[in-house]
Amino acid sequence: MKLFKEVKTSSYQTFLLLLLLLFILSGFEICHGQADDDYAAPPPPPAELENCDGIFLTYSLTSREKEYPHVKNVTAQAWAFKSEATLMNVGDEELKGWKMFIGFQHREILVSADGAVLVDSDDFPAEVGNGTTLAGSAATDLRTAIETAGDYTQMTVRVQMSGTQFGLGAGGKPMPKTIKLVNDGFKCPAASRQDRRFVNQWGLID
């Protein structure tokens, strides 16, 4: 009788252990930490920055779409466009009150420019077919990497533009004639065009 009770007790304990183990396994989760190598590397900076020690400018045409009315005359056809201009201070002196000239040349009408105001016009929309100068609306100054510990949000400004332009067919790439920094005290070679992108680098005059 005693032996039977011991066997019964042992079986009951075994059953409880199996039940507990099953419960633990059913709710067990494994969390795998992400190794440092798994993090996506940030995109590399433009190669041109390596040779710039002042203000780095770019202008990029991001999209272009035919507008109504659709006409047969190519030069009279209106196209909606979107573009982006950037200014980055990679020098060792802060740029106060930045101003950038964009040499539009296709009878452009600028409808908006987020982050900038027109220097030579009162308001949007504005006819800018002979070029226009933009200035900062919120971020007017560009600080250096040295004084911001490389904080791109304080070193860089991006201006996203939308507007209408005329002429050129569906395969055209209507870019401005040039882009340049208007602020005094800087010098630069001519801007270089790369398909739908303009690049310009301005250094301080010695």
What pLDDT is attached to residue 187? 77
What pLDDT is attached to residue 189? 65
Whole-number Å distance between alpha carbons of 196 and 60: 6
What pLDDT is attached to residue 96? 96
Residues contacting residue 168 through CB under 8 Å, at least 6 positions apart: 74, 79, 106, 174
What pLDDT is attached to residue 46? 62
Of 165, 151, 145, which is closest to residue 66 (Cα–Cα)?
A: 165
- What residue spans define the domains of the chain? 47-204
Domain 47-204 is found in CATH 2.60.40.290: yes
Cα-based distances in Å from 134 to 5, 128, 142, 150, 168: 94, 11, 15, 25, 25
Contact 109, 128 (CB under 8 A): yes
Amino acid at 124: F
Which residues in the chain land under pLDDT 50? 1-8, 23-43, 205-206
